[in-house]
Every structure is written in structure tokens, then in C-alpha cells.
Copies of this chain bind each other. A is one copy, B any other.
Amino acid sequence: MVLKGQEVAEHNNAKSCWVIVHGKAYDVTEFLPEHPGGQKIILRYAGKDATEEYEPIHPPDTLDKYLDASKHLGPVDMGTVEQEEKEEDPDEVGRLERIAQKPLLSQCYNLLDFEAVAARVMKKGAWGYYSSAADDEITLRENHGAFHRIWFRPKILVDVENIDISTTMLGAKTSIPVYVTATALGKLGHAEGEVVLTRASGKHDIIQMIPTLASCSFDEIIDAKEGDQVQWLQLYVNKDREITKKIVQHAEKRGCKGLFITVDAPQLGRREKDMRSKFTDPGTKVQEGQETDNSQGAARAISSFIDPALCWADIPWFQSITSMPIIIKGVQRVEDVLLAVEHGCQGVVLSNHGGRQLEFSRSAVEVLAETMPVLRERGLQDKIEVYIDGGVRRGTDILKALCLGARGVGIGRPLLYAMSAYGQPGVERAMQLLKDELEMNMRLIGCNRIEELHPGLLDTRSLFNHSAYHADNLSSTVYDPLAVPSQRPKPKL
């Protein structure tokens, strides 16, 4: 039996709350208090079609997983659902114009170009979610900025006719020491979500790390791979370890070749740009001082299950439930790299979560430069693979990380931007540009293979120097600079 819109529309409150998603109605009345994103956001759509809001932030299997079948009310005759009249949104009009005039893909010569285009063509909220970071976004900018404090000491007169930039990571061959790192909510940027990245990675023989917080379901992303394409799993550990166990073992069964346990997000960070971009004025009736419950942004809504109690003592349990290599993602000081070795982990990712968690975390590349000499001194450099992510935009960035001793680098946002701006061809061009840049720079630094890179090819003396700060934009905005005396007004006649 097909429901009519009017029927659904009657269940428009907390006592009886139905919503329509993808043409089907669901009774979420009892689920309201459990919704990780809060009940307010659901109630806004009570009795209505919530698909547009729901889509990008819930993998397709969400309703099956979390809502009892008895609450699945079946198809709705969408012709009978009242269309909300939307006021024409001037932002959206401008955005469509910008899309129509966006540059050709071939005009993008580097990864930053994609970001420039994405900023123009993405919806404001989506851009806010992808681009935002913690506090004053100092760490966000430091992540790339730190690379600018490392300079090269290139060799010359080396036969560099043949350059090979392929390598292995966690034992798997790959075309370039770069992997697609896990990022959440791919459908904010592209209607198809993370599978776009999967397909481009397949074409370029690049490893993809599958995010826990994907818009696509895990299986969709696995299904999108081709041949012996390698994928890893990024894991936010659930308070309910049975759920975690199920996820991990399913991933291993489906062929994942590495388990990356994220440890830098026991609580998801506050990202003010994201919050600000979500704010909508409740209108003039609100009294001063009366708090309004604004959304805290997508990040917090989707992450409430993450276990803040996760600790080193949990590592053996993971080792007991899987034979995938275990990599600790989000390490930020050498002491914890040593602990990872002690706990028998196969790798670490030095990362500050793209600057989205603890503000004033150091850049991964700086932590790398602190870490590798200690590992070498203790003879541990081959006991563990060290990866970094954050701020990688150029072939030279990759080269610097490799010279310092990284096994590979993860790239996140730039590929999301390429996808948001140009879809799969965008991602592929971004990957090709990285390969071209890396190959050229290998030639120019005088090395033929990744194994030949070493720290002597770098000048890192300024890397640890943070004396020149990144612009403190809020402080600068509120600071009222001193002025010289102003001219006196012209005497009136």
C-alpha cells in the first residue's frame, strides 16, 4: 500500500514523527532521543521529505541498520507530497552561475587550483565542513607551511633518465608513495560520494583508505574497486566493541589490507567556520540572550559513538580479532611512536587530523623530523612504517617527507576538492599532477628510486622554528590599529 503525502504530514511532531527518505516513509518517533545528531534536526522534517538533508550524511544502509523493520512504513506517492516553496536563494543562484563559468579542468595545474574551483562551486555548508579546522586554523595552515621551512640540497650530474616512483606500503606494491586518506561525508562534495575516489584510485594504482564516516556504505566502496586494487580501513572505535569487531572482521573478509585506528579524535573538534556556516538566523523574534540550539555542524552529529576511553591497553584486543596490520593514526610525538613499536603495531600515521582537532598540534612533517633520528638511533627504523598526512599539496612536499624517512603520505582534502569541482576526471588529473611533479622533482634532486632518498638531501635547520606565525585572523580583525593624527575638518563658511 502506498502512503499519501497528507497522511505522512499528520505525523509532524515529537509525539508522532514520520519522515520520508528516498520515497519511503519511516516512523522515527521512538528513535528521536537516540539520534546522534539530536532530535531537533529530525523534527524540522517531521511529516515531510527529509531526503536532501539526510542523503549526504547517512550511508545508504543506515536506516536498515539502526531502525527496526517495523518502523519502515513503505513507499509514499510522492506526487501527493506537498512541495515546500523555496524562496530563491541568492547564494544558490550565484553558485550555479559560477559552476557554468568554472575553468576547464585542463586549466588546473596543481592541487591548489582544485581548491580554488571547489570554493566557488560547492554549497556553503559543504565547503564549511570540508575546509574548516580547529580554533584559529593555525594548525591547518602550519601543516602546509611547515614544508616551506624545508629546503633541498639536490645532487647534480646523476643519470636520471629513468625514474621509478613506485614503492610498497604495508607490503603492497603501489604506483606512488601516496595514498588517499580517509575523509568523511564524500556526498557533500559529489553526488556519488567516496566511490568516485575508489574508481580514480583504481585507475592510478593508488591505495585508498576507507573512512568510517563515509557517505557511501563500506560495501559500496569495496564493490567499486577493480582487480587487485588495495584498500585500507580507517576506524573510529565504537564504545560498543562488538560493533567494532564486526566492522573490522567484515573489512578483513572483504579484502582490506590494513587497519588504521584513529586516536587523535576521542572527541571531535570544534570547527568554528563550520559552525558559522551552518548558522541561520532564527528571526527577529528571538530575545537577546536567549540561547538558540544551533547545529554544532556535521562533525559532532555523526561522531557521538566514538569511544574516548580507547587506550594502549586495547591494542592487544585488536591484534586478537584481525590479522590485518595495525597502524595507529594520529600520533603526534616520538614517545608515542616508540610505544607503537612496543605494542607491536606495524605502522603509525603522524597526523593532527588535518588541523581539525587539537589546535597548535605540530605538523606531521615536523614530528617526522623529530621521530626518524630517534628510531634510527635505536635501530627501530625498519620495525615500523611511518606515514604522515596533512598539508601535502606539491610533489616537493611528498619528496621532503620521503627524504626524512616516511614510507608514504596521505592526501585528503585536495582530492575531495578535485572531486567536488570536477568529479572523477578531477581526481584523476590531481593524481596525475602529483605523479608528474614527483617524477620531475626526483630527477631534479638527482635520485632514481625512492630508496635513494635520504635526509642529507634536505636542509631542515629552520623546520622547528615557529617564530614567524601564521596570521591570527580573528585577533587581527578585532585589533584596532593606532592611527596618526587626522586632519581637522574644513572650517564651515
Contact = CB atoms under 8 A, between A and B. Distances in A.
A150 interface: yes
A462 B459 contact: no
Interface of A: 98, 100-110, 112-113, 115-117, 119-120, 127, 131, 135-138, 141, 144-145, 148-161, 263-264, 266-267, 269-270, 272-273, 275-276, 279, 281-282, 284, 286, 288-289, 291-292, 294, 307-312, 314-315, 328, 330-333, 335-336, 339, 357-362, 393-394, 396, 400, 422-423, 425-426, 429, 436-437, 440-441, 443-445, 459, 461-462, 464-475, 477-491
A154 B265 CA distance: 12
Contact of A103 (B144, B330, B331, B485): B485
A361 B437 contact: no
Contacts of A267: 160, 440, 443-444
A466 B459 CA distance: 10
A462 B461 contact: no
B467 A467 contact: yes
A292 B104 contact: yes
B116 A273 contact: no
Given A113-B484, A156-B331, A422-B289, A151 B308 contact: no
A263 B154 contact: no
Contact of A360 (B151, B282, B486, B488): B151
Given A103-B487, A266-B444, A288-B425, A479 B150 contact: no
A109 B467 contact: no
Determine how many copies of this chain the complex contains: 4
5 contacts: A104-B281, A107-B276, A160-B308, A281-B489, A291-B429
A481 B471 contact: yes
Contacts of A474: 110, 112-113, 116, 482, 484
Given A104-B292, A144-B475, A281-B489, 11 more contacts: A104-B288, A127-B480, A131-B480, A145-B475, A148-B469, A150-B360, A153-B362, A156-B328, A158-B311, A269-B440, A289-B425
Contacts of A466: 148-149, 151, 459, 461-462, 467
A107 B269 contact: no
B159 A308 contact: yes
A308 B267 CA distance: 51
B468 A467 contact: yes
A273 B311 contact: no
Contacts of A478: 112, 115-116, 119, 484
Nearest to A128: B480
Contact of A136 (B138, B282, B465, B482): B482
Contact of A445 (B148, B358, B444): B358
A109 to B, nearest CB: 5
